[in-house]
Amino acid sequence: MVFPVETEERVKRKALDVSRDHLREVVDISRKISQLVSAFVDGDEASAKTFFSSFIFLRIFCALSVSFQNADS
């Protein structure tokens, strides 16, 4: 059985795409943490709960995304 060989350029592009996705997730989580802290400092409990929920959702989504990417490799 013969498998197609990925070119070096294709491998680099794939690594760049994965890195870009991870960086985007880090930026999203950082933004949510900043919003959560601001809401907490302002005493806005409803907004703090909302931001915390979205932060937890993003963490779960990121963990699932990484596990699926590892399964594809």
Q: For the chain, give every domain's residue range.
A: 24-72
Q: Per-residue pLDDT for the chain (73 aa), expressed as one digit of tens each?
A: 555 666 888 888 888 998 898 888 888 888 888 888 888 899 988 888 887 887 777 777 766 666 655 555 5
Give dist(CA 68, CA 73) in Å, integer.
Answer: 9
Contact between residue 56 and residue 63 where contact means Cβ atoms under 8 Å apart: no
pTM higher than the cut 0.85: no
